[in-house]
């Protein structure tokens, strides 16, 4: 009997149905790479706070459990194989585990890259929103400045117009006062002339009139005007 074989009366390449069913149950309990990805997706959805450290730690734990499950599956498969001709060499096991570990690390790195890309997109979106808000605020400030400038200009125009109207009213009042003063002086001059004419004697003839001479000239304000000698 060759070493490692058991005489069961069956073909070494055939399996017992009971053993086959057991192996099927063991296969269904092992965690493959696709199962590990599904579990990781479920974990990502289950963690509400999205703490990357917690998720990474939980993923590593699940990954270690998956590796242990694969190792146990390989050991069970080697023990249950009839004839003992099939062995999992340490190198093959290490290569399989390294591939699975590398695949898990690549998936985790991809998730981190996706999260980082999402964060960068969100920052860019926020930056665009801040830029739009800054431009809107600048336009609002410029519009308010224009409105204030227009209000100041309108107030200055109103003040200048009010000052001009006040000056015009003062000038008109001065003109009216001067006209009234001249009118009063004219009336007073006429009244004085009439009084002097009434005070002169009625008789005396031409001689007395010639001797008396013409009445002295007066200005419009009632002042006596002295003529030069050559005009007398």
In a domain, 171, yes or no: no
Q: Give the three-class secondary structure for 218.
A: strand
Residue 156: band (very low, low, confident or very high) from pLDDT cuts 50, 70, 90: very high
In a domain, 87, yes or no: yes
Alpha-carbon gap, residue 108 to 100, rounded angstroms: 12
Higher per-residue pLDDT: 212 or 221: 221
Q: Which residues contact 107 (CB under 8 A, 6 or more apart)?
A: 37, 40
| Mean predicted lDDT score pLDDT of the chain | 71
| Mean pLDDT score, 122-143 | 95
213 phi-psi bin (left φ>0, alpha ψ -120 to 50, beta other): left
Q: What is the pLDDT of residue 129?
A: 95
**Tokens coding 191:** 């009244």
Q: Is the pLDDT of residue 24 over 60?
A: no
Q: What is the pLDDT of residue 205?
A: 45
| Mean pLDDT score, 29-40 | 59
The residues facing 224 across adjacent strands are 218
In a domain, 152, yes or no: no
Q: What is the pLDDT of residue 142?
A: 94
Burial environment of residue 66 by CB neighbours within 10 A (0 to 12, 13 to 18, 19 or more): buried
In a domain, 150, yes or no: no
* Phi–psi pair at 224, nearest 5 degrees: -75, 140
Could you count the other beta carbons within 10 Å of the beta carbon of residue 36? 22
Q: What is the pLDDT of residue 95?
A: 81
Decide if 10 contacts 71 (C-beta within 8 A). Answer: no
In a domain, 73, yes or no: yes
Tally of domains in the chain: 1
| Mean pLDDT score, 222-230 | 66
**In terms of residue numbers, what domain contains 66?**
17-126
Residue 113: band (very low, low, confident or very high) from pLDDT cuts 50, 70, 90: very high
Q: Is the pLDDT of residue 137 over 90?
A: yes
Q: What is the pLDDT of residue 30?
A: 46
* Phi–psi pair at 212, nearest 5 degrees: -65, -35
| Mean pLDDT score, 190-210 | 59
Q: What is the pLDDT of residue 184?
A: 79
In a domain, 181, yes or no: no
Burial environment of residue 63 by CB neighbours within 10 A (0 to 12, 13 to 18, 19 or more): buried
Q: Which residues contact 31 (CB under 8 A, 6 or more apart)?
A: 39, 65, 66, 69, 70
CA 32, 111, 91: angle at the middle one, nearest 5? 40
Q: What is the pLDDT of residue 182?
A: 80
Burial environment of residue 57 by CB neighbours within 10 A (0 to 12, 13 to 18, 19 or more): exposed
Alpha-carbon gap, residue 149 to 143, rounded angstroms: 10
Question: pLDDT per residue over 52-88, tens digit each?
Answer: 676 777 777 777 777 777 776 666 655 544 445 456 6
Decide if 1 contacts 7 (C-beta within 8 A). Answer: yes
Q: Is the pLDDT of residue 155 over 70?
A: yes
In a domain, 54, yes or no: yes
Which of 31-35, 109-113, 153-157 is predicted least confidently? 31-35
Q: Is the pLDDT of residue 40 over 80?
A: no
Q: What is the pLDDT of residue 11?
A: 40
The residues facing 225 across adjacent strands are 217
Q: Which residues contact 6 (CB under 8 A, 6 or more apart)?
A: 82, 83, 84
Q: What is the pLDDT of residue 139?
A: 95
In a domain, 139, yes or no: no
């Amino acid at each position: 009997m060759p070493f490692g074989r058991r005489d069961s009366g069956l073909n070494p390449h055939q399996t017992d149905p009971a053993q086959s069913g057991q192996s099927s149950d063991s296969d269904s309990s092992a965690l493959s790479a696709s199962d590990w990805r599904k579990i990781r997706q479920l974990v990502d959805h289950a963690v509400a706070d999205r703490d990357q450290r917690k998720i990474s730690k939980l993923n590593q734990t699940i990954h270690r459990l998956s590796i242990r499950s694969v190792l146990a599956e390989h050991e069970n498969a080697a023990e249950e194989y009839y004839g003992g001709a099939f062995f999992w060499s340490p190198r093959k096991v290490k290569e399989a585990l390294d591939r699975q570990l590398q695949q898990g690390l690549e998936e985790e790195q991809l998730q981190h890259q996706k999260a980082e890309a999402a964060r960068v997109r969100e920052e860019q979106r926020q930056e665009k929103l801040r830029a739009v808000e800054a431009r809107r605020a600048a336009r609002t400030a410029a519009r308010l400045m224009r409105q204030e400038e227009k209000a100041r200009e309108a107030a200055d125009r109103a003040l200048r117009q009010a000052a001009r109207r006040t000056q015009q009213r003062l000038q008109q009042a001065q003109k009216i006062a001067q006209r009234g003063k001249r009118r009063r002086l004219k009336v007073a001059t006429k009244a004085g002339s009439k009084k002097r004419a009434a005070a002169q004697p009625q008789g005396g003839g031409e001689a007395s009139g010639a001797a008396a001479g013409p009445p002295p000239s007066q200005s419009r304000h009632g002042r006596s005007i002295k003529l030069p000698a050559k005009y007398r």
